[in-house]
């Protein structure tokens, strides 16, 4: 038993003698955060009044000109007269909830057409220009 204790003690001294090179603990690799390319939604030209009965819905084109994709695309359209004064209310719209706009994709949007959101005939007749403010969430393509 005396020899067994000496061997164990000697092994302990060998491993703690300071001659071995200590190693740093290995840390897990950190993955850099994924940066999404940004979409950029802009007006793309064509527009028209549609479904005109007691007023109209407004339809126009937009395009994603950014290097990334977009989802939850929505907007607000305002109409202006020849004096550049806003006529009527602001009209909101949105694309289908599952729609994803890819790079350079052209799309058509339309103001909601219902009894409470129809663009009145007086606004249609007074309108000479419009602006649309676009909103979206960047997403992976």
- pLDDT digits 0-9 by tens, 23-65: 666 667 777 777 889 999 999 988 999 988 888 899 999 999 9
Q: Measured between alpha carbons, how far is 9 from 11 in angstroms, rounded to an integer?
A: 5
Q: Where are the domains of the chain?
A: 41-139
Question: What is the chain's length?
Answer: 141
Query: Is the pTM for the entire model greater than 0.85?
Result: no
Handedness of CA 73, 78, 82, 83 (dihedral sign): negative
pLDDT for 126: 93
- Taking domain 41-139, whether its CATH number is 2.60.40 is answered by yes
């Amino acid at each position: 038993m005396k020899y067994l204790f000496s061997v164990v003690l000697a092994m302990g001294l060998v491993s703690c003698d300071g001659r071995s090179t200590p190693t740093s603990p290995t840390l897990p690799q950190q993955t850099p955060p994924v940066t999404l390319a940004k979409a950029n939604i802009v007006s793309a030209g064509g527009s028209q009044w549609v479904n005109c009965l007691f007023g109209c819905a407004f339809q126009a084109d937009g395009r994603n000109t950014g290097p990334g994709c977009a989802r939850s695309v929505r907007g607000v359209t305002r109409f202006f007269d020849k004096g550049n004064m806003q006529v009527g209310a602001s009209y909101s719209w949105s694309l289908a909830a599952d729609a994803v706009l890819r790079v350079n994709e052209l799309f058509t949007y339309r103001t909601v057409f219902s009894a409470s959101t129809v663009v009145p005939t007086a606004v249609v007749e007074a309108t000479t220009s419009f602006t649309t403010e676009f909103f979206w969430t960047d997403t992976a393509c």
